[in-house]
Chain A
Amino acid sequence: MTSVTATPCTSFFTRHEFAIRRLHSLTGIVPLGAYMVVHLTTNASLLNGTATFQRAVYAIHSLGALLPIVEWGLIFAPLLFHAIIGVWIARTGRSNTSHYTYANNRRYKWQRITGLIAFVYLMMHVWHLHGWVHFSHWVELGERYGFAQFRPYNAASTMAAAMASWFWKAFYLIGMWACVYHFANGLWTAGITWGAWISAAAQQRASKVCTAIGLVLLVVGTSAWWGAISTDPVAAKLIEDQMYEANLKAGVVPPSVEKRTQPDPVLGEAAPAVAGEAEASVAPASE
């Protein structure tokens, strides 16, 4: 048969298109969607006060040495996979909303537009606050240009300080809204992709549920944004420093330089040298 003999050495993507697209869909929901829900909720907790937010960040950072593995394995790797395949998928579609002005066709177009906004937003966002990787030279270089700004043990103050300019305020609001739409609408299309909702009526019901989820996330996300832009970094830092001192004494958090804003009023400027001592003084407390 000609069709068999003629099949050329097709690309890896063509041969595994089904698996790759399904993995793309899956990564959009878990871990990425699930992460976003938790992330926005954690960030919104800042509205309850600096201490609440700081406690949440302590909890996340109690993973210690495991944290980079969790970050790369469960967040960054799936994110980069979904993002790169997503850009490819968006490039292969040819939107035609000018001729076919149906609501679902617009949703299709906006799924792609918000995906591309999310791409720019997340690449910048992670660099801006987290820094992507924590090699000291890389972080120093980033810091000099206003990136890698977040310090987990000064969570609220460093986040609020990083959001000071109008550019970042607007950037975060648009980026976060785009992510929320993308996830809520993506949840609906993923239900069709995997065959969770089949009949037209079921798809309509699911669409309403996904819209509701999207609206709730919109409120949560906007609260997170508001918390980040309305917090006073100076006042927040005082609270964080008190908490750090107390937790350090109690042995709940290890002393750290890179997770703290420098110069550090608790450990002092010569932190690295003191850190060893502090560790020694903490040790009996944990017995």
Chain B
Amino acid sequence: MIAPAPLKQNQPSQIRVRVLRQDGPGQDPYWQLFDIDYEREMNVISVLQKIAAKATTVDGKKVSPVAWDCGCLEEVCGSCTMVINGRVRQSCSALVDRLLQDNPDEIVLQPMTKFPVVRDLLIDRQRLFNSLKRVKAWVPVDSYYNLGPGERLPRVDQERAYPLSQCMSCGCCLEACPQFNKIELTQEAGETQEQFEARKQAAYDTAFIGAHAISQAMLFNQHPTGKALAGERLDALMGPGGVATCGNAQNCVAVCPKEIPLTTSIARAGRATTVAAIKNWFEGSGEKKEQRVGE
């Protein structure tokens, strides 16, 4: 155990928390203020627990508890990600004492701005996972029969792959990216559930794929078994909203809590797609056309 930090003289007795709330998808957001008792060594999750227990705003109004999400409480699942004091991060690893040093007046909590809000601080990350499907971010093994032991990975490859494998799909890289814009569709009157889902799918499939998926594509393209799908992954990266949509602002790499070298993955994807495009130009273009006719 790490010993708690020594008590400072001027510790506040209460903390003011400003929360951006929203009652449901597509509804108007509104701010609410809460005062909670200060304790040492709190994180934002414990702040949210206190708010839920109290469920009373600063002017004494009883309100429904603020909704939020969390899982691991140790910054490996990504589900507690939100915008804290204007910056996207995990609430489980956002320490209150540290936040108060930056801004002693209040802590500001907002849902991520690039995903549809479900309720309060809960958001819908479907598009993030859809991007992983677009690049087939998995190893194709169906386990019907034993393939024997896997290929041994040279050390350099292990060292290149390990950092990329730490991605927890939190979405920080997407929240901070100026090229990744929010898509929020609502079901129209007279539209069936299937039609709506299909429309959403099409929108998610052509919009910017995001740094996390580009990086995962590079991870699985160097995996001995994952390589089998390398061409399909590059096709996805060369499709609409692929790697070319990145504008090189490099915010993704700056905010990634796992310090994944995202911009290295982006440049590597840039090179791989350059090579693939030249190859397609000289070899594969005829094949592609035939395929299109067949579709």
CB-based contact B254/A102 at 8 Å = yes
B202 within 8 A of A: yes
In the complex, what residues of A have CB within 8 A of residue B261's CB? 199-200
CB-based contact A105/B178 at 8 Å = yes
In the complex, what residues of B have CB within 8 A of residue A100's CB? 87, 176, 251, 254-255
Contact of A108 with B245 at beta-carbon distance under 8 Å, contacts A6-B198, A203-B267 already known:
no
Alpha-carbon distance A165/B181, docked complex (angstroms): 44
Quick one: CB contact mask for A190-229 with B, threshold 8 Å, 1 for yes?
0111111111100100000000000000000000000000
Specify which of A15, A89, A94, A192 is in contact with B270 (CB 8 Å cutoff). Answer: A192
B14 within 8 A of A: no
In the complex, what residues of A have CB within 8 A of residue B249's CB? 104-105, 107-109
CB-based contact A102/B250 at 8 Å = yes
B238 within 8 A of A: yes
Alpha-carbon distance A100/B249, docked complex (angstroms): 10
CB-based contact A3/B178 at 8 Å = no
A286 within 8 A of B: no
**Interface bracket on B:** 35 or more
Quick one: CB contact mask for B259-271 with A, threshold 8 Å, 1 for yes?
0010110111111
A14 within 8 A of B: yes
Contact of A108 with B248 at beta-carbon distance under 8 Å, contacts A3-B201, A17-B242, A100-B87 already known:
yes
Interface residues of B in 194-223 (CB under 8 A from A): 194, 197-199, 201-202, 205-206
In the complex, what residues of A have CB within 8 A of residue B242's CB? 17-18
CB-based contact B267/A2 at 8 Å = no
Interface residues of A in 1-57 (CB under 8 A from B): 2-8, 10, 14-15, 17-19, 21-22
Contact of A108 with B270 at beta-carbon distance under 8 Å, contacts A6-B198, A18-B242 already known:
no
In the complex, what residues of A have CB within 8 A of residue B67's CB? none
- Smallest beta-carbon distance A30→chain B, Å: 15
CB-based contact B248/A22 at 8 Å = no
CB-based contact A104/B205 at 8 Å = no
Specify which of B86, B179, B268 is in contact with A195 (CB 8 Å cutoff). Answer: B268
- Smallest beta-carbon distance B161→chain A, Å: 15
Contact of A18 with B277 at beta-carbon distance under 8 Å, contacts A104-B249, A108-B178, A198-B264 already known:
yes
B26 within 8 A of A: no
A95 within 8 A of B: yes
A231 within 8 A of B: no
Alpha-carbon distance A95/B178, docked complex (angstroms): 5
Specify which of A2, A4, A7, A107 is in contact with B197 (CB 8 Å cutoff). Answer: A2
Contact of A2 with B248 at beta-carbon distance under 8 Å, contacts A14-B206, A18-B242, A100-B87 already known:
no
CB-based contact B202/A8 at 8 Å = yes
In the complex, what residues of A have CB within 8 A of residue B251's CB? 96, 100, 102, 104-105
CB-based contact B176/A192 at 8 Å = no
CB-based contact A3/B202 at 8 Å = yes
B247 within 8 A of A: yes
Majority-rule SS of B interface residues: helix
Interface residues of A in 68-110 (CB under 8 A from B): 89, 92-96, 99-100, 102, 104-105, 107-109
B12 within 8 A of A: no
Alpha-carbon distance A92/B179, docked complex (angstroms): 7
CB-based contact A195/B263 at 8 Å = no
CB-based contact B201/A193 at 8 Å = no
- Smallest beta-carbon distance A128→chain B, Å: 31
A189 within 8 A of B: yes
Alpha-carbon distance A3/B269, docked complex (angstroms): 24
In the complex, what residues of B have CB within 8 A of residue A102's CB? 250-251, 254
Q: In chain A, what residue has the closest Cβ to B86?
A: A99
Which interface residue of A8, A105, A198 has the most chain B CB atoms within 10 A? A198
Q: In chain B, what residue has the closest Cβ to A112?
A: B247
Contact of A22 with B179 at beta-carbon distance under 8 Å, contacts A17-B244, A104-B254, A192-B267 already known:
no
- Smallest beta-carbon distance B202→chain A, Å: 5
Alpha-carbon distance A53/B175, docked complex (angstroms): 52
CB-based contact A195/B267 at 8 Å = yes
Which interface residue of B253, B266, B267, B295 has the most chain A CB atoms within 10 A? B267
CB-based contact B250/A105 at 8 Å = yes
Alpha-carbon distance A95/B249, docked complex (angstroms): 9
- Smallest beta-carbon distance A118→chain B, Å: 16
List 11 additional A-B contacts (Cβ < 8 Å) besides A100-B87, A109-B249, A198-B264.
A2-B198, A4-B295, A10-B240, A94-B178, A100-B254, A104-B250, A104-B251, A189-B247, A193-B244, A198-B271, A200-B253
> Would you give 28 A-B contacts (Cβ < 8 Å), ordered by A?
A2-B198, A3-B201, A3-B205, A5-B198, A6-B199, A6-B202, A10-B240, A14-B206, A17-B240, A18-B240, A18-B244, A93-B178, A94-B181, A96-B251, A100-B255, A109-B178, A192-B267, A193-B244, A193-B248, A194-B270, A195-B267, A195-B268, A195-B272, A198-B264, A198-B271, A199-B264, A203-B263, A203-B267
Cβ-closest 7 pairs across A and B: A195-B271, A6-B198, A108-B249, A104-B250, A195-B270, A21-B244, A189-B248
